[in-house]
């Protein structure tokens, strides 16, 4: 297959995934609210991977026919578990395929399953794991070697995330009663299309929600990035350098409220606007140029029990726990992020003449996404960039 045919095939797959991914995104901002409510996220930095959690939910639906599957299909606005399986396959094989060789972001996305070896596995289910989820399939001894299996899963996650996520599963996570563990991992390392000049980085005040300030390094520059101005907040798009002959387009979007303490109310407004991540035109906005641009460098990690947050969406999976760890680093060159989770049991070129400052000197939301499909790789907020 020549490059032209390969690019067309990739484009067709991405376009076929766009609608389903967009529907799945509808729970992302509401889920974020429940993550904040069930963790320390109300006052601390936060980051997680909606993409990984949605793949785990799709896996649960695939192995739990009946009421649980129906609930997940409804929650992710899909037509069937077959659709969820097809989307999960497309995420791993196409949307999150590595593009290092062609000059784009370095990406690693993987699924793995560890099943008690004394259990019989339906050939159709094994086929689903191998072909739709592209999962590493392992039959293991939970009955007498549960701790060893836990270490094996943790080693797999560490390898898949280039060493950024360690000890995903805490000690005693598995026992002789464990039937299976399904884990997935994501690593992303992208360079900005237009990098910041490190010599222009300088320490400035970042205003915290409690009214105090933190002195942190701010990146600055005259970037020609697109800026969308909404009622009460602005959204800056920072594209990553793309790969040659690649139809995908990755970017980080920073959602900055106008008010210093406006992050909670901005998130509340966005979460209650159905379809915003699928189509940000559902809210009126104007496109503008950036006048002054200042963004803090930040680096932090965050972990939480996703099954607790999912209860806020009305989803309870009996006898199962979903744990999630994620980390992100943003600097002048680009950003590096990783996440892992485990289940136990384009617009036009015209710019309007207005210019706005984009000085992210107070708490803000950020999203790392693939533009064509809208897949959200990472989502988080920065409350205090001085905290690592």
Can you tell me whether residue 29 is helix, strand or coil? helix
- Find, among 303, 363, 302, the residue nearest to 329 by Cα: 302
Q: And the tokens for 345?
A: 């049991």
Q: CA-CA distances (angstroms) from residue 187 to 47, 82, 278, 333?
A: 13, 26, 23, 17
CA–CA distance, 10 with 247 (Å, rounded to integer): 7
Note the pLDDT tens digit of each residue in 316-351: 887 789 999 999 999 999 999 999 999 988 333 333
Q: Please check whether residue 388 lies inside any domain of the structure.
A: no
Q: How many CB atoms lie within 10 A of CB 172?
A: 9
Which pLDDT band holds residue 222 (cuts at 50, 70, 90)? low
Q: Please check whether residue 387 lies inside any domain of the structure.
A: no
CATH number at residue 172: 3.30.497.10
* pLDDT score for 281: 77
Note the pLDDT tens digit of each residue in 105-145: 999 999 999 999 998 889 999 999 999 999 999 999 999 99
Mean per-residue pLDDT of the chain: 91
Count the domains in the chain.
2
Q: Which domain holds residue 268?
A: 198-297+347-382
Q: Are residues 281 and 357 in the same domain?
A: yes
CA–CA distance, 28 with 152 (Å, rounded to integer): 30
Q: Are residues 216 and 72 in the same domain?
A: no
CA–CA distance, 210 with 47 (Å, rounded to integer): 21
Start-to-end C-alpha separation, the chain: 46
Q: Please check whether residue 92 lies inside any domain of the structure.
A: yes
């Amino acid at each position: 297959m020549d490059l032209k045919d390969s690019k067309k095939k990739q484009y067709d797959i991405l376009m076929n995934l766009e609608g389903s991914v967009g529907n799945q995104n509808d729970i992302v901002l509401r889920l974020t609210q429940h993550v904040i409510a069930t963790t320390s996220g109300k006052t601390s930095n936060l980051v997680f991977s909606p993409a990984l959690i949605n793949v785990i939910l799709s896996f649960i639906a695939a192995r739990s026919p009946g009421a649980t599957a129906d609930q997940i299909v409804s929650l992710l606005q899909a037509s069937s578990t077959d659709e969820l399986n097809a989307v999960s396959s497309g995420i791993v094989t196409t949307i999150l395929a590595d593009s290092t060789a062609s000059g784009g972001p370095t990406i690693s996305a993987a699924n793995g399953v560890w099943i008690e070896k004394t259990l019989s596995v339906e050939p159709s289910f094994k086929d689903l794991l191998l072909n739709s989820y592209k999962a590493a399939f392992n039959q293991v001894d939970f009955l007498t070697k549960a701790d060893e299996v836990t270490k094996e899963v943790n080693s797999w996650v560490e390898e898949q995330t280039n060493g950024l996520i360690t000890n995903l599963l805490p000690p005693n996570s598995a026992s002789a009663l464990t039937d299976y563990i399904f884990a997935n991992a994501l690593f992303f390392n992208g360079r900005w299309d237009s990098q910041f000049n490190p010599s222009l980085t300088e320490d400035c005040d970042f205003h915290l929600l409690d009214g105090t300030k933190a002195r942190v390094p701010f990146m600055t520059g005259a970037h020609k990035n697109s800026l969308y101005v909404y009622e009460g907040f602005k959204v800056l798009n920072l594209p990553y350098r793309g790969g040659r002959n690649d139809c995908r387009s990755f970017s980080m979007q920073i959602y900055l409220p106008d008010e210093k303490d406006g992050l909670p109310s901005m998130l509340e407004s966005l979460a209650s606007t159905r379809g915003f991540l699928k189509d940000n035109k559902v809210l009126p906005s104007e496109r503008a140029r950036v006048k002054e641009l200042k963004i803090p460098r930040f680096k932090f990690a965050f972990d939480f029990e996703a099954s607790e947050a999912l209860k806020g969406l009305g989803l309870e999976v009996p006898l199962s726990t979903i744990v999630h760890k994620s980390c992100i680093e943003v600097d002048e060159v680009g950003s590096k992020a990783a996440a892992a989770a485990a289940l136990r049991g384009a617009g036009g070129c015209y710019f309007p003449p207005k210019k706005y400052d984009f000085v992210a000197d107070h708490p803000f939301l950020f999203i790392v996404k693939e533009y064509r499909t809208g897949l959200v790789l990472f989502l988080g907020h920065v409350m205090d960039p001085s905290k690592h």
